Each structure stands twice: as C-alpha cells, then as structure tokens.
Amino acid sequence: MVKKNIIIAVIGGSQPDEESLKIAEQVGKLIAERQAILITGGMGGIMLAASKGAHEANGLVIGVLPGSDRNEANKYVDIPIVTGVGEARNSIITRTCDCAIAINGSYGTLSEIAYCMIYKKPVIGINTWKIDAPIIEAKTAQEAVEYALKKVRT
Amino acid sequence: MVKKNIIIAVIGGSQPDEESLKIAEQVGKLIAERQAILITGGMGGIMLAASKGAHEANGLVIGVLPGSDRNEANKYVDIPIVTGVGEARNSIITRTCDCAIAINGSYGTLSEIAYCMIYKKPVIGINTWKIDAPIIEAKTAQEAVEYALKKVRT
Amino acid sequence: MVKKNIIIAVIGGSQPDEESLKIAEQVGKLIAERQAILITGGMGGIMLAASKGAHEANGLVIGVLPGSDRNEANKYVDIPIVTGVGEARNSIITRTCDCAIAINGSYGTLSEIAYCMIYKKPVIGINTWKIDAPIIEAKTAQEAVEYALKKVRT
Amino acid sequence: MVKKNIIIAVIGGSQPDEESLKIAEQVGKLIAERQAILITGGMGGIMLAASKGAHEANGLVIGVLPGSDRNEANKYVDIPIVTGVGEARNSIITRTCDCAIAINGSYGTLSEIAYCMIYKKPVIGINTWKIDAPIIEAKTAQEAVEYALKKVRT
C-alpha cells in the first residue's frame, strides 16, 4: 500500500484539447510510478486522464468531488472524497497536495493556481494560464513530474 | 433599510498601495450612494477601505470572514458572516454578489476573479490582474461603479 | 439601518407542524422589534415563517443558503448569502449568530444545535430535540426571545 | 492496494474514556481486516485509536482534518485531507463514508450523527448519544463492524 507518500495534484479543465489529455494521462502514470499519490477534482477531462494514467500504473487516486454523489467520480478514482461544497473544494485539493501540476485548464484551474500561491504550494504548468505568478513551466509530462518531485523534496 | 438590493463585491488585497486604497474607499461610498449593498472579505486593506467608504455614506456592509472570530472583521462591517472555512470563503463572496469590482489585489483576489468567471458574475477591474478573461477595465471609482450597475441591470 | 446589532438565529425544519410555524413567525417578529438581526438557513418551513415575522416587523433578515441559486431564498430574506456548500452551511449560521432559537426541527436542526454547543452559542429550544445538552427551554415565542436577549447581553 | 472499497467512518470525541479508546482501536483493526477503508476526522482520541488499529492491521486510513496543517493529523493517518474548513469538515466525512460507527463522543460526534441522518448513512453506536434517531446499537467492536458491513452491503 502507498503510505506516507507525496501527494501531487493534477489540475486542469474538463474540456481540454487532445494533446493535453495525452500529457495528463502520462503525468498520472509517472506520478504513480514514482510512488506518489495523485489527487484531482475527480471529474472528467484532465482529471479523468490523469486518474486513468495513475490507475493503470497501479497508483492511488484521490478524487475530491464538488457534488454530493460519489458516483460522479470518474471510474479511476480509488478514494472519492465527497465534499458537497461545490467549487470551494478547489481550496481543499490545493491545501492537501504537496505540489500541483496544471495542464491546460479554464477558470477552475485558475482558482486552483491562485489557491496554490496562497498556500505556498509549487505549481508546475504545462500549456496553462500565463499569469504574473511563479509557475514553473514544463514542456513534457516527464519534465513536469521531475520538477514536481524536486520541488517537494527540497 | 436597504432591501432586495443589488449586492456588489469589492475584492482586493490586504496590502495595497495608497492610490488603490483611495479608490476603494470611493468605490464603497458610491456603492452605498447608489443604494447597493457592499460585500467584501471583511478584513483589512482594500476590504477595509471600501467598507469605510460605504459605511460613511450610510450603506450596508457585509463582511464574509475566513476565520471563526467575529472581531476579526474591520470596524465598518455591519453584518459579519463568520464562515470558519478559510479562503474557501472566496467562493461564497463571489456566489453571493451580483457583480465584483477588483481593485489591485494579490492571489486571493485572483481566486475571486476566477470564481466570478465560473459563476458568470461580471468583474470590473481597476489596476488589477491582467489575465485572459473578460474583465471590464475601469480607470476611476466612478467608472467602476457605473459599469457594475449597468452590468447588473442588463 | 440596523447596525452593530445582535444576530439571532432561528433554526428549525422545513416541514414543521402548524403550531411551530406560528411560534416561528412570532419569534421573527419579536427579534425584529427588539432591533436584532435574524439569521436563518433561508429556505422554507420554520425558516420562512421566522423570516416573514421579522420582515413584516421591518427587521433585517439574512438567509444563509445551502445551494448556489439566490432565488431559492424565501421571499422574506433581505440578504441571501449564497454559500454553495450544502448542509455545511449549518456551521456558518451557527458561527455567525450570537444565540439560536430552535423550534421543532429535524436532523438539520440537530446538527445546528450540535454546532452551537461546539461554538459555545446559547440555544433556546421550543418543542425541539431532547438531548443531553444545555438547551434552555422556552414555552412561548416571547419567552424564547427574552431568554435569547438575556443570554447575549450577559 | 485497497481499491473500490467500502469506506467506514469512525466518529467520536477527542477526550473519551479508556474503555471507548480500546473499542475504537479494535473497530479500526476489524475495519482494516475486512478490507474496508477507515475515514475519521484525523485528530486525537477516538480518531487516533481507530486509526492506530487500522494502521497496525495494514489498512488504509483517511483523516479529514479541520485545520490547514497536515501535521495536525495523528501519526496513523495515511491520507490527510487538509480541508481548512473547520468543523464544517464533519459534513465531508459523513458524505464520504458508506456507514459510520459512533463511539462515545461529544458535540462534534452529535453533529456527525445528525449529518449521517441527513445523508441517509447508517450509524452504528457504541456507548454514544441517546437521541431520537435510528442508531443501531452495538455492544462490542465486533458487533459494530458486523452491523456496519451488513448495512453497507444491503
């Protein structure tokens, strides 16, 4: 069982482009292979793709759901946290993770990046929001997970 | 008593520059003069300045506090909503308002702008975050409140 | 305008008996007449009846809504706080009030009584939960509001 | 790894009697042995004892923390969910679990029992609140876990 492990968030929207989905799946896979736990918002799009990647690499996948129905979680979520607090759950994902990897993403992702900054959690970005904040840019899934683990361990 | 009124949020950081504070106070004053209710995060900086402006113009001021102590509210808050949910209260401010005026601001403000976009609330910005989102830019307090009221009424 | 005022919660279920509704309306009226602000969960039943009573006595009525739509508030709510956090809003109502009057009520009310105890807010009960907790029993609306105000002022 | 598993909450206070602590530890152990996931509020007392029992039986332990510091979790928590929403996290624990076992407990536990009733989650009680609610009474840890699993599976 994965224990006392690093928790990495993958944040990103529910309607991404194909390329971003592929990257998210690979990021999920690499997180699992590096023995870290994946946390996402538990829904579709980037969240589903990362969960799939981690699940298929035998990782542990936490999904922090906005709604009140566990069945809204994508099918790769091992541990659905059913918050019922709507988009306020973005605060919980970011408080819980050690580090976040933002892939693409819309306003939900922007709120999560903002929360990461408030809570002083490093953010690695792949093709995501360009804002005046210390987001560490990565070009590939491999780079992103490398950067994330390096940040968490220092 | 102010009733069934428009609720306008003023969002902005706790450590703004002097110019932004002056604008915030004027925005608060104008909101009150236009019979709208002011909602803020209830703390210092921009939140305090706007509350002062509204209070002195005899307006109603709601402060949605992150902590669990009512006395954390700035002294111009009439109705302190004591959430105890930390920064997740940013979701509540933005769900509650009809429209938000962002003045200056740091990451908390960024999270609130993001939530406004998610909840489809118009955002008027004065010297605030430059991001890829339909923020309506205003140069003066007067312009900001004008735009806000126009947006709410249409 | 009602300012720096005492905030009294009326808690109770959405499907009460007729007698409890009458009491709730009277409690709301008395709260307003005593210049206190009424806070409720903003929905139907006891919440609506108390809001009606306070509204018709020209009081200020806050409704802390569970959902994400302001229009779910009953029509006597002056200030709808749109939390979007579901039943977790029971924690916000009880953190915000100075004192709560519980009338009848089901499990939501029970959770609010429990939160009042955690947050050390006095609870006055009229025909409500019988539990091992220091709920101050009242028989009439008048008694309940008297007790509430006395508790808050000491 | 424990996957797609039943999630059982153990709810109870932070200052229980010795007997309740022993029962909680045994309940945690039995939950783990039956391949279910344990969820608690992540803090001390009953929460710690149950976590210890589950941990030592190689189970998976989720701790849904009220505060904003992961290190507040007791040392047997594998997955700390850092909510930052204070006692409103009681709503999240109960939404997430399939069933709850209440052991002893004070007002926090009462709020969780109330939420379980709202969310229609079965509650097994050992030496806990006597209230007008369908709590299934158990006398031993074994009985409690048996009843919990039976309830979840039907």
The chains found to touch A (3+ Cβ pairs under 8 angstroms) are B, C, D
Residue in C89, C96, C118 to test binding to D, most D beta-carbons within 10 Å = C118
Q: What is the DSSP letter of A139?
A: S
Distance, in Å, from the CA atom of B69 to the CA atom of B139, rounded to the nearest integer, reads: 35
Residue B82's CB is within 10 A of a number of other CB atoms, namely: 27
Whole-number Å distance between alpha carbons of A106 and A115: 15
Give residue C1's pLDDT: 36
What is the ipTM for the molecules in this complex? 0.95
Residue D153: per-residue pLDDT = 84
Closest CA of chain C from B92, distance in Å: 5
Give C63→chain B minimum CA distance, Å: 11
Residue C115 and residue B84 in contact, taking contact as beta carbons nearer than 8 Å: no
Cα torsion angle, C70, C76, C78, C84, sign:
negative
Q: Cβ contacts (< 8 Å) between C69 and chain A: which residues?
A: none
Q: What is the mean pLDDT of residues D37-59?
A: 98
Chain C: give the shortest CA distance to residue D133, in Å.
9
CA dihedral (C133, C134, C139, C140) in degrees, to 10, reads: -110
Which residue in chain C has the smallest CA separation from D133? C107
pLDDT tens by residue, B31-89: 999 999 999 999 999 999 999 999 999 999 999 999 999 999 999 999 999 999 999 99
For residue C57, the SS3 value is coil
What are A129's two structure tokens?
A: 């929001």
* pLDDT confidence of residue C4: 63
Measured CA to CA, the distance from residue D78 to residue D42 in angstroms comes to 10
Distance from CA of C88 to the nearest CA of A (A): 7
Give the separation between CA A110 and CA A24, rounded to whole angstroms.
17
- Which CA distances in Å does B1 have to B9, B36, B63, C79? 19, 11, 18, 12
CB–CB contact C3 B84 (8 Å)? no
The 10 Å Cβ neighbour count of residue B134 is 7
The whole model's pTM is what? 0.96
The tens digit of pLDDT for each residue in A64-76 reads 999 999 999 999 9
Residue C13, amino acid? G
Task: Kindly state whether A18 is in contact with chain B, defined as any CB-CB distance less than 8 angstroms.
Answer: no
Query: What is the mean predicted confidence (pLDDT) over A7-21?
Result: 95
Cβ within 8 Å, pair C68-B119: yes
Q: Is B76 left (phi over 0), alpha (psi -120 to 50) or beta?
A: alpha
**B4 pLDDT band (50/70/90 cuts)?**
low
Query: Average of pLDDT values for A48-71?
Result: 97
Q: State whether residue C95 sits within 8 Å of chain B by CB.
A: yes
Best residue of C68, C85, C91, C92 to probe chain A, by most A CBs closer than 10 Å: C85
Instruction: Find out whether A100 and D117 touch, Cβ atoms under 8 Å.
Output: no
DSSP A88: G
Tell me the average pLDDT across D27-48: 97
Alpha carbon distances (Å) from B148 to B52, B126, B135, C114: 19, 12, 11, 41
Beta strands in chain D (DSSP E): 7-11, 37-40, 61-65, 79-82, 99-103, 123-126, 136-137
Q: Edge-to-edge strand order for the sheet containing B37-40?
A: B79-82, B61-65, B37-40, B7-11, B99-103, B123-126, B136-137
pLDDT in tens, C98-146: 999 999 999 999 999 999 999 999 999 999 999 999 999 999 999 999 9
Distance CA B13, CA B127 (A): 12
Non-local (6+) Cβ contacts of D58 within 8 A are A1, D32
* pLDDT exceeds 50 at position B2: no
A111 shares contact with chain B (CB less than 8 Å): yes
| Cα–Cα dist D38/A5, whole Å | 17
Of D56, D55, D51, D54, the C-alpha closest to D65 is D51
Q: What is the pLDDT of residue A4?
A: 63
| The pLDDT of residue A6 is above 50 | yes
Structure tokens at D136: 């299934």
What whole-number distance in Å separates Cα of residue C124 and Cα of residue D74?
36
∠ CA C87-C91-C96, rounded to 5°: 130
The 10s digit of each residue's pLDDT in B87-132 is 999 999 999 999 999 999 999 999 999 999 999 999 999 999 999 9
**The predicted structure's pLDDT at residue C25:** 98
Query: Using CA atoms, how far apart are residues B114 and A112, in angstroms rounded to an integer?
Result: 9
Q: What is the pLDDT of chain A when averaged over all its residues?
A: 95
- The tokens of B54 are what? 């509204």
| CA gap C82, D8 in Å, rounded | 31
- Render pLDDT for C35-92 as a digit per residue (tens, 0 to 9): 999 999 999 999 999 999 999 999 999 999 999 999 999 999 999 999 999 999 999 9
Structure tokens that stand for A68 in this block: 């009140």
Angle at D83 between CA D77 and CA D85, to 5 degrees: 135
Question: Which pLDDT belongs to residue C2?
Answer: 36
Chain centre distance of CA B5: 15
CA B17 to chain centre: 17
* Beta carbons of C40 and C63 less than 8 angstroms apart: yes
> What tokens appear for A18 in the block?
């194909």
Check residue C36 and report its DSSP letter.
P
Between the alpha carbon of residue C34 and those of residues C2, C96, C144, the distances in Å are: 11, 18, 13
> In the predicted model, what is the mean pLDDT of chain C?
95
Q: pLDDT band at residue B5, thresholds of 50, 70 and 90? A: confident
Closest CA to B112 of D12, D96, A107: A107
- Round to whole Å and give the CA distance between B131 and B144: 18
Q: What is the mean pLDDT of chain D?
A: 95
Query: Quick one: pLDDT at residue B1?
Result: 36
Cα B9 from chain centroid (whole Å): 3
Average pLDDT over residues A89-103: 98
Neighbours of D20 (CB within 10 A): 21
Show residues of chain D in contact with C111, CB under 8 Å: 111, 114-115, 118
Percentage of residues in chain D with pLDDT exceeding 70?
Answer: 97
**DSSP letter for each residue of chain B:** ---S--EEEEE--SS--HHHHHHHHHHHHHHHHTTPEEEE-SSSTHHHHHHHHHHHTT--EEEEESSS-GGGS-TT-SEEEE---GGGHHHHHHHH-SEEEEES--HHHHHHHHHHHHTT--EEEES----SS-PEE-SSHHHHHHHHHHHHH-
